Amino acid sequence: MNSQEWNPGKLLETSSSFWMGCTLQAGVKLDIFTIIDDRQIDCEEIALNIEGNVRGVTTLLNALVAMELLKKEGNKYSNTETGKNFLSKNSSMYMGYIIIHQNHLVQSWGQLDIAVKTGNPVRTMASVASDEERENFLMGMFNMAMGLAPQIVKEIDLSEKLSFIDIGGGPGTYAIHFCQQNPQMKAIVYDLPTTKPFALKTIERFGLSDRIDFMAGNYVESDIKGTYDVAWLSHVLHGEGPDDCQKIIKKTVSTIEKGGVILIHDFILNNSMDSPLFPALFSLNMLAGTPSGRAYSEEQLMNMLESEGVKDIKRLPLDLPNDSGVIMGTIL
């Protein structure tokens, strides 16, 4: 966005853009799209299903129609293809977990001025949140990775690698897809103990329990046991400050066999730290939610790798959403 595009109308549109996000999030939280499913039903039936107020439900449904997420004929509501495919729990492409997780972020974004003034987070981190919030976070990461992993794994040649560790791997989505792409490879998902049930359930769902295991640990505080041909860190470093990032990379590199590779996947800023837009905004999200987290530039990430003796460091030519990217280096 350049300065010529800004005008009073654009400023007000931007300031109120959270209205649409909150409308979508309310629809998902109340399970509106799942309740409707393949049917055409009226607002009274939906209100009965959610034990809701008819006026409130009608107002929400009409807003979702205006957003073209629902359709309306007479007094009956039905799903659009988008609503049915991505917002109903009956769909294998359900994205509701990440949307509900983003709803969890709304309150802290409303206090962003406080985070800016104090430099301190204004929300509870997902790792110590309630069970429901943790599930929404972890399965939200699954939602996001399911859209990216198939594209990424096809562009990275690991055909000669036998062992893989997914550090901070959450439900194990990337380990799953890398193993599907490379049948010779076995993997470990390394994450907090509270993540284990989600990871094992997801791994079992894909029929890979014989090739992917879970190792509990804290990648900042704990050692990482074993040695591996490939280490993958997806959306790990942005949660930590520079010193802890360097510590994580150091212990990761120490686990990689000679000739192995380290792969860092994250939202990456330019070297002046002021664009692209999404990583710049995401850095504010980390300010609001973590003691020291932030988005890093390509130069910063490469320097961290170089400091640990990693060679042949390069950013892979991948066109990924939200300006995420993958930086690869080799251990010689």
User: Hey, what are 244's tokens?
Assistant: 């802890």
User: What interhelical angle do 173-181 and 131-154 show, nearest 10?
Assistant: 30
pTM for the model stands at 0.92
pLDDT of residue 129: 63
Count of other CB atoms within 10 angstroms of residue 61:
21
pLDDT (mean) for 311-327: 97
> Does 2 have pLDDT greater than 60?
no
pLDDT (mean) for 249-266: 98
pLDDT of residue 124: 73
pLDDT tens track for 91-146: 989 999 999 999 999 999 999 999 999 999 998 765 556 778 888 888 889 988 99
Instruction: Check residue 235 and report its DSSP letter.
Output: S
pLDDT (mean) for 79-85: 98
pLDDT of residue 1: 45
> Does 178 have pLDDT greater than 50?
yes
DSSP, residue by residue, 72-120: EETTEEEE-HHHHHHS-TTSTT--HHHHHHHHHHHHHHTTHHHHHHH-S
| Bond before 8 cis per omega within 30 degrees | no
Whole-number percent of the chain with pLDDT over 70: 97
First-to-last C-alpha distance (Å) of the chain: 42
> Does 4 have pLDDT greater than 80?
no
Distances (CA, A) of 12 to 6, 108, 110, 177: 10, 21, 16, 42
- All domains of the chain in start order, with CATH: 3-91 (1.10.10.10), 112-330 (3.40.50.150)
Asked whether 199 and 216 are in contact (CB, 8 A), the reply is no
Tell which residue, 56, 53, 61, 54, has the closest CA to residue 32: 61
| 3-class DSSP state of 330 | strand
pLDDT tens track for 8-22: 999 999 999 999 999
pLDDT (mean) for 147-173: 97
Phi-psi region of 172 (alpha: psi -120 to 50; beta: other; left: phi over 0): left
Longest dimension (CA), the chain: 68
Count of other CB atoms within 10 angstroms of residue 251:
17
pLDDT of residue 135: 84
Distances (CA, A) of 35 to 41, 61, 135, 139, 320: 9, 12, 21, 21, 33
pLDDT tens track for 29-57: 999 999 999 999 999 999 999 999 999 99
Instruction: Check residue 257 and report its DSSP letter.
Output: E
Contacts for 255 with CB less than 8 Å, ≥ 6 apart: 165, 224, 226, 227, 228, 231
Say how far apart CA 53 and CA 63 lie, in whole Å: 16
